[in-house]
Chain A
Amino acid sequence: MSISLEKGLGSVSSYLTRRILYAFPILIGVNFITFVLFFVVNSPDDMARVHLGNRYVTEDSISNWKSERGYDKPLFIALDNSGKKVFTETIFFDKTVRLFTFDFGQSDSGRDISYDISERMWPSLLISLPVLCLGLLFTLSFALLIAFFRGTYIDSSAVILCVSMMSISGLFYIIGGQYLLSKLLQIVPISGFDDGIASVKFLILPILIGVVGGLGHGTRWYRTIFLEEIHRDYVRTARAKGLSEKGVLYQHVLRNALIPIVTGVVALLPSLFLGSLITEAFFGIPGLGSYTIDAIQSQDFAIVRAMVFLGSVLYILGLILTDVAYTLVDPRIRL
């Protein structure tokens, strides 16, 4: 192994170690804020009432429910205890420590959270991954096309179209798409989900709507990036060398515009897993987006806590991956 490669790997590993260490206080902080926000709105008594129902519930059953799930302890500080138990005999400590081992435990309704996440992650991914890939393909292609026709009426029309598409609410795309393709043309099911290959017919519409809904914003954003690059000296040089316009756009402009593209794409990583609430609700997709919202509505703190934690971890992971990806797309960048 050459010395420079060894050096490179060493710097990457020290960078990763550093970032992972940074992640701990961030995760503790996020968890702390989640606790504060959740318990400002919901007390353990409220949680018990939601789970036990509103009719005929007695104080006894509420206190039983709380003690069984460990919600009978103080939130952050147990003043009745001494020594380290002041902090360890609290709901915050009790529920936080296990998260760092990725042991999400059981939901307040008794379900294994890790199992539910692993089950519900796939439907979310089945929609978000194709939407991301197809969306990137189409937006980059359209943006390059518009960049090619820069300054013409095609460019102006495309920008107007993009701004119009951006201005329309995502909900409109969903309802409009469902109305047009499912109700009027009756081509695909309006909602639902199935396993295996049978799921394809349910995925067409949400994926199509996801791609079309993101076209306006994505195309306009990438067009701006490409136009910025297209006026640089190296593009002029490439043209002067006799490279075709296709070659200029794909080999030079696209490659040099990759950093902002990578930044935008990697930032989407958490949302790929965590799903989209509105899409999942309208299409009946049993993904993680609806899982979190259901948990908030049913005041299931165990799930809320786990999902916020997972979201933070994925976001931190996404940021680390972004930095690593920078070094790949631009060798001048060092970690």
Chain B
Amino acid sequence: MIMRGFRSLLVACFALLCACSDSGWNNPYPPTDDSENIFYGSFSERPKHLDPVSSYSENEAVFTGQIYEPVLQYHFFDRPYRLEPLTSETVPEPIYYDQNGSYLEGDPLSEDVHEVVYRIKIKPGILFQPHPCFTLDEKGEYLYHKLSAQEIESKTKLSDFSSNGTRELIAADYVYQIKRLMHPKLHSPIAGFMSKYIKDLGQFGNRLREASIESSRTLDLRAHEFLGAKIVDRYTYEIRLSKKYPQFKYWLAMSFFAPVPWEADAFFDQPGMKEHNLSLDWYPVGTGPYMLTENNPNRRMVLEKNPNYRGELFPGADESDAESLMPYIDRAHYSLEKESIPGWTKFLQGYYDASGVVSDSFDQTIQFNTRGEASLTEDMKRKGINLVTAVRSSISYMGFNMVDPVVGGTSEQSLLLRRAISIAIDYEELISIFANGRGTAAQGPIPPGIFGYVEGENGINPYVYKWAGGQAKRQNLEVAKDLLFRAGYENGVNINTGEPLTLYFDTVSSGPGSKVMLNWYRKQFSKLGIDLVVRATDYNRFQEKVRKGTVQIFSWGWNADYPDPENFFFLLYGPNAKIVSQGENAVNYQSEEFDDLFVRMRSMANGIERQEVINRMLEIVRRDAPWVWGFHPTSYTLSHSWYGNAVPNLMARNTLKYKTIEVSSRSQKRDEWNRPIIWPLFAITSLIIFALIPAWCVYIARERARFGE
């Protein structure tokens, strides 16, 4: 009887499991979302700021880029990168004035320019996303701007406010945001930098600070004026710079210069709001194609189509084609994935639409042909996965502290030493071993795709490379040894003192993962007989040492803020030296000739003349070798066949609106790829049960033996 019941139970379990073995048991999303037009992505680091005044990181731009709309954006397809209007009617051209206030025609010299005006006219009819800060009551007054402590007590999230409102975007919103850059409590990272350019901005900051000390009430920035930003009319405003700065237009494409409505500050600045985690830093308010509807950076961030969005034509689309109006995706889910393995598995299962390439699975994903070109492996191709590669607008370099007595300075000895090391460190090998070939050895500070970068033989660094067989070849090690000898070291031993040369490499890399790379660095230096001592430390101490100029050799990197050579050359501009001004010139490089050319170059328009100046600047820094130029990383992005318009655009942050999803294709593939296999579970359970039966028999037998049955 018991055995029959047991058999029936087994059969029932098996039948149940078979019935369930359809698909999607491992689906991390609700089954109802399968047919929805949703983009699924991941993020590994939680965003710290979503207020455009303080948000600067790339992982934050994934969200802020879709929510906020500065006046300009980068064209989705055009390369070299080109700015185009986003909310403005046109790309504003700078208007130059001399010290008498007279208009200067054309492209005047920097020294003649006393004031630069950018007059920006925005498009009418743009609306902000629905938000309670705009809600008006019957009397036309803001419903949620004068909340009592009791009313706020029950509110912990934005959805606790029952009604939302909106209003039209006006020029005042852009001016308001520029004022916010100097708000003493908002700590914008670019406040100090922009004060050097935007007229009266620094003094305005001081005035705001004084006003905030004098009054305990929240600052109403509308009541404070400054010369640098003025409202001309409802849709027009002006930004006034105190000097010529052609790169300023790029800043106009960044979220620092996106509009923020005063209502948002009035709403979030009410007493008790911050204590309830209600702030603009957590609940952004924008005019962009998407709005943030779930902000849980510990789990998931959700962007939803902004119902008030005006729609934007896909680049090159016909105006009459209503289907070409972006955005195409209704929602975007970004899940927190701190570890790469689960994220990669979900991508392969079709639960993420796009992914980077995980180092651990690189060989299973990417293969290189004889010409060194990357392509997908057969497994990936079978799945319909696409690969897109692009050289990033960034550089990873090794810096010599130019105030260091051994490797720094302009003496012939230190110059030759730096050049010898530049040849000896084989960055092609580093890219191959540690970056799986994802990078291009740098010939100077400017990455490919940025104006000033020269392809081919004319673009190589002749101090480190030679042109042979149609490509750049690293100079022979013998050349480096010869340079070292001329620097006063024979096989790494000082010819005069007989002491071996020991150099110090400061790094934040430590632990077993970094040991291999640090050993590789040691090996590169040992090729010249130089003993490299690694000084590993934490990031805080490392930064402190760089700030104080007490490092000797270190590795660092830079990601472009905008696609202009100025954004790379300024890393070597003398007045930006760390020990001088805490600027971004981490190696404290000083060259009068370079600095003069830099000042000229930064205010020039792109053209032959500017290229010539850049070439001269490149020659100077290649000769002086304050950096071992390192490499420009290449980004590898994988996407599934149902994910459309996966075009790499490393400058634009607002690219979600261009993307498409073929929902039915995704759903079909997910079903196909995710059929649960349950028989092993059944087998293991049976095995355990059958293993327990003898034990049970032994127990019964023992008990019977004890009691003499």
Contacts and interface: CB of A to CB of B under 8 A. Distances in A.
B342 A191 contact: yes
B187 A245 contact: no
Given A55-B584, A58-B192, A281 B281 contact: no
Interface in A94-136: 106, 109-112, 115-116, 120
A110 B26 contact: no
B703 A244 contact: yes
Interface stretch (A15-23, A177-185, A221-229, A324-332): A177-185
Contact of B540 (A43, A145, A198): A43
Nearest to A285: B299
A311 to B, nearest CB: 19
Interface string B569-603: 00000000000001010000000000000000000
A57 B681 contact: no
A93 interface: no
Contacts of B338: 281-282, 284, 290
Given A68-B185, A190-B345, A56 B337 contact: no
A186 B277 contact: no
B58 to A, nearest CB: 11
Interface string B307-338: 00000000000000000000000000001111
B676 A186 contact: yes
Interface stretch (A46-54, A78-86, A254-262): A46-54
Given A41-B538, A61-B187, A294-B46, A284 B703 contact: no
In this complex, which of B54, B56, B189, B702 has the most chain A Cβ atoms within 10 angstroms of its Cβ? B189
Nearest to B48: A109
Contacts of A194: 30
B192 A53 contact: no
A188 interface: yes
A149 B695 contact: yes
Given A61-B189, A112-B276, A184 B27 contact: no
B189 A53 contact: yes
Contacts of A192: 28, 299, 335
A60 interface: yes
Contacts of B678: 185, 187
Given A111-B277, A286-B299, A178 B674 contact: no
* Chain B interface size range: 35 or more
Interface in B643-679: 674-678
Contacts of B184: 64
Contact of B299 (A175, A185, A190, A193): A193
Given A43-B540, A55-B584, A109-B48, A291 B681 contact: no
Nearest to B25: A187
A189 interface: yes
B341 A178 contact: yes
Interface residues of A, number: 62
A189 B299 contact: no
Nearest to A185: B677
Contact of B190 (A56, A242, A244): A56
Interface in B169-210: 184-185, 187-193
Interface in B14-29: 25-28
Interface in A24-75: 41-43, 46, 49, 51-61, 64-65, 68
A182 B341 CA distance: 11
Contact of B703 (A178, A191, A245): A245
Interface string B589-629: 00000000000000000000000000000000000000000
A255 B293 CA distance: 53
Nearest to B190: A56
Contacts of A237: none
Interface in A146-191: 148-149, 154, 175, 178, 182-191
A283 interface: yes
B540 A46 contact: yes
Interface in A283-299: 283-284, 286, 290-291, 294, 298-299
A224 to B, nearest CB: 20
B699 interface: yes
B681 A185 contact: yes
A184 B675 CA distance: 10
Contacts of A284: 299, 335-338, 342
B349 A186 contact: yes
A189 B27 contact: yes
Contacts of A290: 298, 338
Contacts of B336: 284, 286
Given A110-B279, A186-B676, A49 B346 contact: no
B574 to A, nearest CB: 17
B477 to A, nearest CB: 36
A191 B540 contact: no
Contacts of B4: none
A309 interface: no
A279 to B, nearest CB: 11
Contact of A61 (B191, B677, B681, B702): B191
Contact of A187 (B282, B543, B676): B676
Contacts of A187: 25-26, 676-678, 681
B26 A188 contact: yes
A202 interface: yes
Nearest to A242: B707
B187 A65 contact: yes
Contacts of A42: 540
B185 A186 contact: no
Nearest to B691: A154
B698 interface: yes
A185 B345 contact: no
Nearest to A68: B185
A58 B184 CA distance: 13
A83 to B, nearest CB: 26
Interface string A195-221: 000100110000000000000000000
Interface in B678-707: 678, 680-681, 695, 698-699, 702-703, 706-707
Contact of B543 (A49, A115, A186): A49
B339 interface: yes
Given A54-B543, A61-B187, A178 B342 contact: yes
A186 B674 contact: yes
A318 B298 CA distance: 28
A58 B342 CA distance: 39
A298 B337 CA distance: 17
B156 interface: yes
A294 B699 CA distance: 52
Given A57-B189, A58-B192, A291 B346 contact: no
Nearest to A198: B30
A283 B192 contact: no
A41 B540 contact: yes
In this complex, which of B28, B57, B540, B543 has the most chain A Cβ atoms within 10 angstroms of its Cβ? B28
Given A175-B341, A185-B681, 12 more contacts: A41-B540, A56-B190, A57-B189, A64-B187, A68-B185, A110-B274, A182-B342, A186-B676, A198-B30, A244-B703, A284-B299, A294-B46
13 contacts: A52-B54, A54-B543, A109-B48, A115-B276, A182-B26, A186-B676, A187-B25, A190-B28, A191-B335, A244-B703, A282-B342, A290-B298, A298-B48
Interface of A: 41-43, 46, 49, 51-61, 64-65, 68, 106, 109-112, 115-116, 120, 145, 148-149, 154, 175, 178, 182-194, 198, 201-202, 242, 244-245, 281-284, 286, 290-291, 294, 298-299
**Closest 8 pairs (CB-CB, A-B):** A58-B192, A286-B298, A191-B342, A192-B28, A189-B28, A46-B540, A56-B193, A286-B299
